[in-house]
Amino acid sequence: MDYLEIEGGSPLCGEVRIQGSKNAALPILSAALQSPGVTVLENCPAITDAASMLEILEGYGCKTRREGNRLIIDAGEVHPGRAPKDCAGVMRSSIMLLGSLLGRMGEAFLPYPGGCVIGKRPIDLHLEALRQMGARLWEEPEGVRAVCRRAKGAQIRLPFPSVGATENVILLAVRAEGVTVLQNAAREPEIEELCRFLTGMGARIEGAGTGTIRIRGVRELHETEYRIMPDRIVAGTYMLLAAAAGGKVVLTEVPLGQLTAVRQVLKAMGARQESRGDSLFLWCPGRCRGGVRIRTAPYPGFPTDLQSPLMAALCLADGESVIDEQIFEARFKAAKELCRMGADIRIRGSKAFIKGTERLTGARVEAEELRGGAALCIAAAAAEGTSRILQYHYIARGYENIIRDLKALGVMVQCR
């Protein structure tokens, strides 16, 4: 049984460097399939989701190796193989391989993507957008089969600014004939990062980071070297950890420009912040203020990936707060586990009402998904006594070494 044991109740004091971005690395790994040569990625996080993606790439003939945080992917001889079901079936991000596989080989088969249990997350938007570019797709009992011998540019408007659907369209459009104009595209920083990477491979893309992206297809892409940006969600997690547990924290290599919504919430909660370059200093000398009302939204709104960590921090804030989850309908799974620790949380539809309490108590709790697991780490570090957080493997999907990072901030933690 994999679990974390955390002794909480002490203020934080320490410094942590923010790892490379999970949500940028995974689509970039998919895009590496498009190069007939070697791709070198720096600052690629050593997380289990990245390891699973590498296994999937190897299933299509890629040769990969890791040298610390440096990844080398040789996609010179790929073939229309099949993604290992054990890998593709446990991570949502495997679906974005559709666009790359169709762009490189004209055909693909992927087991239905899995991942965290945080809602329905249908793939209909992906499939319909790819169909508009000429792909033929069949939903079979074990997965999705697709053929697209000659993708063509199209005018596509997404009904919702889905990050994954935006990425899939881009990954096929860069090799399509003509121009693709994607409207109501996702604006997340990870979309811009993918477009920067593809541009470095020879793609022609305009408008990344806006609601309208224009892609002119090219015949071939070439090999490149690229450094992946820091992870805004990991940074936000540790910022909210400081708000919950108190103390002084220094975070380095922080993508500050991507965290405006989170920093505004922390300011409302009374956390003191100072930035110098790409470093962030946080002081939380006492109990934070509650009484905040937050609604999750696509970027640049408050990210749904930080909703659970925020809930954990608000459990100890002074006052009653409300979180309105507008992205995923089942992302309050951490609430019942937080209540085991003494939190006062009531769920009504899409809203969580959190009445701050003066103390949480260590307990045996269970992570059911990635960000909810991180929220339990926050609560455990701020609680009195010892907590055991079961199913650590969920947390390892997105946090390179949360044990190392918590220790660096003064938290007593170990893996059992």
Catalytic site positions = 116
Cα–Cα distance measured from residue 278 to residue 187, given in angstroms and rounded to the nearest whole number: 22
Burial class (CB in 10 A: 0-12, 13-18, 19+), 160: exposed
User: How far, in Å, are 93, 265, 387 from residue 393 at the CA level?
Assistant: 17, 29, 17
Listing DSSP states for 347-374 in one string gives: EETTEEEEE--S--B--EEE--SHHHHH
Residues 6+ apart with CB under 8 A from 38: 72, 73, 74, 75, 76, 223
Label the pairing between strands 279-284 and 247-252.
antiparallel
Q: Beginning with the edge strand found earlier in the chain, give each strand of the sheet holding 38-42 in spatial order.
A: 63-67, 70-74, 38-42, 224-227
360, 383 Cβ separation under 8 angstroms: yes
DSSP-derived pairing of the beta strands 293-295 and 320-324: parallel
Q: What is the distance between the terminal CA atoms of the chain, rounded to a whole angstrom?
A: 8
Distance CA 172, CA 261 (A): 32
Q: In a 10 Å sphere around its CB, with 0-12 CB exposed, 13-18 middle and 19+ buried, how is residue 258 labelled?
A: buried
Residue count of the chain: 416
Q: 323 vs 202, 205, 229, 352, CA distance in Å? A: 42, 36, 28, 5
Return d(Cα 9, Cα 361) in angstroms, integer. 9
Q: How far is CA 289 from CA 217, 321, 351, in A?
A: 51, 10, 19
Distance CA 412, CA 331 (A): 28
Cis peptide before 300 (omega within 30 of 0): yes
CA contacts within 13 A on the Cβ side of 396? 15
Question: What is the three-class DSSP state of 7?
Answer: strand
